[in-house]
Amino acid sequence: MSRDGPIDGDAGDAPGRVVAVPCEGADVLALFALATGEPLGSVPVGSHPVHATTTADRTLVATMGERSVTAVDPGGEVTRVDTGVLGPSHFASANGDLYVSCSAGDALAVIDPVELTLTGRVGVGAEPHELAVGPDERRLYSGSRRDGVVDVVDTATRERLGTVDAGPEARVQGVALAPDGHRGYAVDQDGSRIVVFEPAGHGGEEPDAPATRVGHVRNAAAVGADPYDLVVTADRVFVPGRADGTVHEFSPDLTLEAVHEGFSRPVDLFKTNGRWWVLDAEAARLRSLDGAVVDTSAPGLVAAPVGGGRLLVSHYDDDRISLVDVADGTVWTADTPAYPFGAVVV
């Protein structure tokens, strides 16, 4: 994912905001008041909900056990949108369309988020996972876990322009673009590597090259064991190594700047209040890269910044969520249905 600088601003306790949490083990979207953590109810959404996104006043939920995604209106009305292919996983918006990777197949479903209809599918490498979109929304990048490639999709024509080969035996998990769109990155989980590639239309030697140009791999670097996701900013690339408790920090061209050690199972990073905070799936705390610690009620697997120096943390294995202020600690904790995953604020 791309994160350009700190995520601060609106206070996380704005009245009326609702936290929507896909609970993978209970097949529901659980709702809570952001300000207090008060449970507001739950909505059945289908098998294995994992990620959600908000668009057109709706919350759309990717249900990996279905061949559909589920849209929940503000009034709680539920609409299923068929994808035709099993395993909807990650969302990305581009040019008014909503793309969702069908991770049990080899396609991206393209959904009209207003009409709630399937408008097409784009064939990509098998078992697509994370998606990234260029800043001009003309290109979408889809990582393939089985084929080890990043597919480049023209969002105007919904056609695959080509692929970036991440290397032999690669299993691409995380995919991200630099905030200016001039570099693309892919994490090879099996090879414990990261590659930087040239996005279409942003060649270093031809910065104004036609948009149909498909990039090539510029460089690659080793990272910690069992990497999954990555964070890309204007001047840094971070890759947590889940199995060896490290976070590799690179410059944009993948020159290694530092290896941060001592984590248990780091899974993600967030910059807030001037610090980079590391979410750890096996430690009940947030720890910053410079050593500051905020205790939490349980380890966190997924988190979402909500502004005001606060993070919404899903404690997947402990069936609860927390609102955590990196300055003041846990604001509230609430029990959830089983296996809360990627929460969003509505």
Partner 1 sequence: MVEKTPETDDDGSGDATRRGLLRAAAGATVAGAASTAGCLSVTTPADVAAEYAVTGNVAHFVGPSWPAEHRDDAVVLDARNAERFREERIYGARRVPFDAITSQRSTDDGAVPDADAVAAAFGSVGVAPDDDVLVYGASVGSRVTRTAFALAAIGHSGAIKALNGGLDGWNGRLGTGTRREVSTTDYEADPAPSAWVTREWLAERVGSFNDGGPGLVDVRVPEAYLAAAGSAALNDDHERHGHIPGAIDVHWVGNVSGRRMTEPGRLVQLYEGEAGLDRSETVVVYGDDNVDPTSTWLTLRAIGFEDVRVYDGGFSEWANADDRGRHPVETATNVVVETEGSVGGDDNSGDFSCTG
Alpha carbons 171 and 188: distance in angstroms, whole number:
5
Interactions with partner 1, residue window 136-155 (CB under 8 A): 146
Decide: 186 and 195 in contact? Cβ < 8 Å.
Answer: yes
Selected binder of partner 1 within 108, 131, 195, 196 (CB under 8 A) = 108
Q: Which of 111, 93, 112, 90 is nearest to 101 (CA)?
A: 90
Nearer to partner 1, 82 or 206 (CB): 82
Which residue(s) pair with 154 in the sheet?
Answer: 139, 159
Selected binder of partner 1 within 78, 104, 211, 331 (CB under 8 A) = 104
Nearer to partner 1, 86 or 217 (CB): 86
Decide: 23 and 29 in contact? Cβ < 8 Å.
Answer: yes
x-or-dash string of contact with partner 1, 152-171, rule CB under 8 A: ------x-x-----------
- Per CB under 8 A, 122 contacts partner 1: yes
Nearer to partner 1, 159 or 261 (CB): 159
DSSP secondary-structure letter at 33? E
State the minimum distance, in angstroms, from the CB of residue 49 to partner 1.
15
Selected binder of partner 1 within 1, 86, 217, 222 (CB under 8 A) = 86
Q: Which of 93, 28, 107, 16 is nearest to 341 (CA)?
A: 28
Decide: 66 and 86 in contact? Cβ < 8 Å.
Answer: yes
Selected binder of partner 1 within 3, 51, 58, 67 (CB under 8 A) = 67
Q: How many residues of this chain interact with partner 1, rule: CB under 8 A?
A: 26
- Per CB under 8 A, 119 contacts partner 1: no
Selected binder of partner 1 within 7, 45, 102, 286 (CB under 8 A) = 102
Q: Which of 2, 231, 315 is nearest to 247 (CA)?
A: 231
Q: What element of type H or E holds 82?
A: strand 78-82
State the minimum distance, in angstroms, from the CB of residue 163 to partner 1.
12
Alpha carbons 7 and 38: distance in angstroms, whole number:
24
Instruction: List residues near partner 1 by CB under 8 A.
Output: 65, 67-68, 82-87, 102-108, 120-124, 126-127, 146, 158, 160
